[in-house]
Protein backbone atom coordinates (compact mmCIF):
# COMPACT_ATOMS: atom_id res chain seq x y z
CA UNK A 1 0.00 0.00 0.00
CA UNK A 2 1.44 3.37 -1.00
CA UNK A 3 1.98 6.21 1.43
CA UNK A 4 -0.96 8.36 0.28
CA UNK A 5 -1.50 11.86 1.67
CA UNK A 6 -4.62 10.80 3.58
CA UNK A 7 -2.95 7.78 5.15
CA UNK A 8 0.19 9.81 5.83
CA UNK A 9 -1.78 12.45 7.75
CA UNK A 10 -3.84 9.84 9.59
CA UNK A 11 -0.82 7.94 10.83
CA UNK A 12 1.80 10.65 11.28
CA UNK A 13 0.33 12.39 14.32
CA UNK A 14 0.06 9.30 16.49
CA UNK A 15 3.29 7.74 15.27
CA UNK A 16 5.31 10.92 15.68
CA UNK A 17 4.08 11.23 19.25
CA UNK A 18 4.97 7.59 19.85
CA UNK A 19 8.46 8.14 18.44
CA UNK A 20 9.26 10.61 21.21
CA UNK A 21 9.34 7.67 23.61
CA UNK A 22 12.27 6.21 21.70
CA UNK A 23 14.51 9.27 21.37
CA UNK A 24 15.22 9.76 25.07
CA UNK A 25 17.38 6.68 25.38
CA UNK A 26 20.52 6.96 27.53
CA UNK A 27 23.95 6.28 26.11
CA UNK A 28 24.89 2.66 26.60
CA UNK A 29 27.60 0.45 25.17
CA UNK A 30 27.78 -3.22 24.39
CA UNK A 31 30.82 -5.37 23.77
CA UNK A 32 28.75 -7.74 21.65
CA UNK A 33 30.01 -8.18 18.10
CA UNK A 34 28.07 -9.14 14.99
CA UNK A 35 28.96 -11.14 11.93
CA UNK A 36 30.36 -9.36 8.92
CA UNK A 37 27.52 -10.77 6.86
CA UNK A 38 24.88 -9.12 9.06
CA UNK A 39 26.78 -5.87 9.49
CA UNK A 40 27.63 -5.51 5.81
CA UNK A 41 24.28 -6.47 4.31
CA UNK A 42 23.34 -3.75 1.82
CA UNK A 43 19.70 -2.76 1.49
CA UNK A 44 17.77 -2.68 -1.81
CA UNK A 45 18.41 1.05 -2.29
CA UNK A 46 22.18 0.83 -1.77
CA UNK A 47 24.40 2.23 0.97
CA UNK A 48 25.02 5.90 1.72
CA UNK A 49 28.73 6.20 2.51
CA UNK A 50 31.33 8.83 3.32
CA UNK A 51 35.07 8.23 3.57
CA UNK A 52 37.65 5.94 2.05
CA UNK A 53 36.72 2.34 1.30
CA UNK A 54 39.97 1.12 2.92
CA UNK A 55 39.66 3.16 6.11
CA UNK A 56 40.73 1.12 9.17
CA UNK A 57 37.50 1.91 11.05
CA UNK A 58 33.93 1.58 9.80
CA UNK A 59 31.11 3.33 11.63
CA UNK A 60 27.55 2.33 10.75
CA UNK A 61 24.82 4.59 12.08
CA UNK A 62 21.13 3.72 12.33
CA UNK A 63 19.06 6.87 12.80
CA UNK A 64 15.53 8.21 12.55
CA UNK A 65 14.75 11.64 11.11
CA UNK A 66 12.26 12.33 13.91
CA UNK A 67 14.76 11.45 16.65
CA UNK A 68 15.85 14.47 18.66
CA UNK A 69 19.11 12.87 19.79
CA UNK A 70 19.92 12.00 16.17
CA UNK A 71 19.37 15.63 15.17
CA UNK A 72 21.59 16.81 18.00
CA UNK A 73 24.33 14.40 16.95
CA UNK A 74 24.22 15.43 13.29
CA UNK A 75 24.03 19.13 14.09
CA UNK A 76 27.04 19.04 16.42
CA UNK A 77 29.24 15.96 16.89
CA UNK A 78 28.98 14.64 13.33
CA UNK A 79 30.70 17.71 11.92
CA UNK A 80 33.62 17.21 14.29
CA UNK A 81 33.71 13.48 13.58
CA UNK A 82 33.83 14.15 9.85
CA UNK A 83 36.69 16.61 10.16
CA UNK A 84 38.80 14.51 12.54
CA UNK A 85 38.22 11.01 11.22
CA UNK A 86 36.25 10.76 7.96
CA UNK A 87 38.02 13.46 5.96
CA UNK A 88 41.42 12.19 7.14
CA UNK A 89 40.83 8.67 5.86
CA UNK A 90 40.57 7.01 9.26
CA UNK A 91 36.82 6.29 9.23
CA UNK A 92 34.40 5.00 6.63
CA UNK A 93 30.92 6.20 7.65
CA UNK A 94 27.75 4.39 6.58
CA UNK A 95 24.32 5.89 7.26
CA UNK A 96 21.28 3.61 7.40
CA UNK A 97 17.64 4.62 7.68
CA UNK A 98 15.75 3.46 10.75
CA UNK A 99 12.40 5.31 10.78
CA UNK A 100 10.32 4.94 13.93
CA UNK A 101 7.26 6.53 12.32
CA UNK A 102 5.57 7.50 9.06
CA UNK A 103 6.97 11.03 9.10
CA UNK A 104 10.56 9.79 9.35
CA UNK A 105 9.93 7.24 6.60
CA UNK A 106 8.59 9.97 4.32
CA UNK A 107 11.61 12.15 5.07
CA UNK A 108 13.96 9.33 4.13
CA UNK A 109 11.98 8.73 0.93
CA UNK A 110 12.41 12.39 0.00
CA UNK A 111 16.15 12.21 0.70
CA UNK A 112 16.40 9.15 -1.54
CA UNK A 113 14.72 11.10 -4.36
CA UNK A 114 17.32 13.87 -4.20
CA UNK A 115 20.38 13.70 -6.51
CA UNK A 116 22.74 10.91 -5.46
CA UNK A 117 25.56 13.24 -4.46
CA UNK A 118 23.24 15.43 -2.39
CA UNK A 119 21.97 12.78 0.03
CA UNK A 120 24.06 13.81 3.03
CA UNK A 121 23.39 17.49 2.35
CA UNK A 122 19.66 16.75 2.38
CA UNK A 123 19.97 14.72 5.58
CA UNK A 124 21.88 17.57 7.19
CA UNK A 125 19.16 20.05 6.22
CA UNK A 126 16.42 17.76 7.52
CA UNK A 127 18.12 17.33 10.89
CA UNK A 128 18.81 21.08 11.12
CA UNK A 129 15.20 21.95 10.28
CA UNK A 130 13.67 18.98 12.11
CA UNK A 131 11.26 21.00 14.25
CA UNK A 132 10.00 22.91 11.22
CA UNK A 133 8.83 19.87 9.27
CA UNK A 134 8.75 16.74 11.44
CA UNK A 135 6.67 18.06 14.33
CA UNK A 136 4.13 20.29 12.61
CA UNK A 137 0.38 19.73 12.39
CA UNK A 138 0.72 19.06 8.66
CA UNK A 139 4.08 17.34 8.01
CA UNK A 140 2.97 16.34 4.52
CA UNK A 141 2.80 19.93 3.30
CA UNK A 142 5.93 20.73 5.27
CA UNK A 143 7.72 18.03 3.28
CA UNK A 144 6.28 19.43 0.05
CA UNK A 145 7.82 22.79 0.91
CA UNK A 146 11.10 21.17 1.93
CA UNK A 147 11.18 19.30 -1.37
CA UNK A 148 10.83 22.57 -3.23
CA UNK A 149 13.85 23.91 -1.34
CA UNK A 150 15.74 20.91 -2.69
CA UNK A 151 14.75 21.78 -6.25
CA UNK A 152 11.97 19.22 -6.63
CA UNK A 153 8.59 20.10 -8.11
CA UNK A 154 5.40 19.54 -6.12
CA UNK A 155 4.52 16.73 -8.50
CA UNK A 156 7.97 15.24 -8.01
CA UNK A 157 7.62 15.27 -4.23
CA UNK A 158 4.18 13.68 -4.39
CA UNK A 159 5.46 10.97 -6.73
CA UNK A 160 8.40 10.35 -4.40
CA UNK A 161 6.22 10.01 -1.30
CA UNK A 162 3.99 7.45 -3.01
CA UNK A 163 6.84 5.39 -4.46
CA UNK A 164 6.33 1.92 -3.03
CA UNK A 165 9.77 0.69 -4.10
CA UNK A 166 11.51 3.39 -2.07
CA UNK A 167 9.26 2.84 0.95
CA UNK A 168 9.90 -0.92 0.82
CA UNK A 169 13.65 -0.35 0.55
CA UNK A 170 13.74 1.92 3.58
CA UNK A 171 11.57 -0.51 5.53
CA UNK A 172 13.81 -3.48 4.74
CA UNK A 173 16.88 -1.63 6.05
CA UNK A 174 15.04 -0.85 9.28
CA UNK A 175 13.76 -4.42 9.67
CA UNK A 176 17.21 -5.91 9.12
CA UNK A 177 18.71 -3.62 11.72
CA UNK A 178 16.02 -4.54 14.22
CA UNK A 179 15.89 -8.28 13.58
CA UNK A 180 19.53 -9.12 12.88
CA UNK A 181 21.47 -6.45 14.77
CA UNK A 182 19.17 -5.73 17.69
CA UNK A 183 18.71 -2.04 16.95
CA UNK A 184 15.87 -0.74 19.13
CA UNK A 185 16.77 2.91 19.72
CA UNK A 186 18.39 5.73 17.79
CA UNK A 187 21.03 6.69 17.17
CA UNK A 188 22.73 3.30 17.30
CA UNK A 189 26.28 2.87 16.00
CA UNK A 190 28.40 -0.12 15.08
CA UNK A 191 32.07 0.80 15.33
CA UNK A 192 34.06 -2.00 13.70
CA UNK A 193 31.27 -4.33 14.82
CA UNK A 194 30.90 -3.02 18.37
CA UNK A 195 27.39 -1.81 19.15
CA UNK A 196 27.10 1.56 20.89
CA UNK A 197 23.75 3.30 21.42
CA UNK A 198 23.20 6.98 22.12
CA UNK A 199 24.32 10.37 20.84
CA UNK A 200 28.03 10.10 21.62
CA UNK A 201 30.31 13.09 22.02
CA UNK A 202 33.46 13.33 19.93
CA UNK A 203 35.51 12.30 22.97
CA UNK A 204 33.39 9.16 23.40
CA UNK A 205 33.74 8.34 19.70
CA UNK A 206 37.49 8.76 19.98
CA UNK A 207 37.58 6.08 22.68
CA UNK A 208 36.08 3.53 20.30
CA UNK A 209 37.79 4.70 17.11
CA UNK A 210 41.33 5.22 18.37
CA UNK A 211 41.67 1.71 19.78
CA UNK A 212 41.05 0.37 16.27
CA UNK A 213 43.65 2.55 14.55
Rounded to the nearest integer, the mean pLDDT of the chain is 86
Angle of helix 5-19 relative to helix 154-161, nearest 10 degrees? 70
Instruction: Compute φ and ψ for 61, nearest 5 degrees.
Output: -110, 130
Q: Which domain holds residue 193?
A: 5-210
- The kind and range of the H/E element at 161 are helix 154-161
User: Per-residue pLDDT averaged across 17-30, rounded?
Assistant: 39
Total-model pTM: 0.85
Amino acid 9: pLDDT: 44
Residue-by-residue DSSP string for 65-116: TT-HHHHHIIIIIHHHHIIIIITTTSEEEEEEE--SSHHHHHHHHHHHHS-G
Contact 70, 186 (CB under 8 A): yes
Q: In this predicted model, what pLDDT tens digit does every residue of 25-58 receive, in sequence order? A: 334 444 455 688 999 999 999 999 999 999 999 9
Q: How many domains does the chain have?
A: 1
Which residues on neighbouring strands pair with residue 63, listed in sequence order? 97
Cα separation values, 63 from 33, 137, 148, 157, Å: 19, 23, 24, 22
> Is 186 within 8 Å of 100 (Cβ atoms)?
yes
Residue 60 has pLDDT above 90, yes or no: yes
- Residue 155 belongs to domain with CATH number: 3.40.30.10
**pLDDT score recorded for residue 150:** 83
What are residue 156's DSSP bridge partners? none
Amino acid sequence: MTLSRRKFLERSSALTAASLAFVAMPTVASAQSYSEADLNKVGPLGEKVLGKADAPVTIIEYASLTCGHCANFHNTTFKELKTKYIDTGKVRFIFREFPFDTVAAAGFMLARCAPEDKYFDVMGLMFKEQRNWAFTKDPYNALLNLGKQLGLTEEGVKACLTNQEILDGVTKVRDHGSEKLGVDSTPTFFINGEKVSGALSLEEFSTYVDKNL
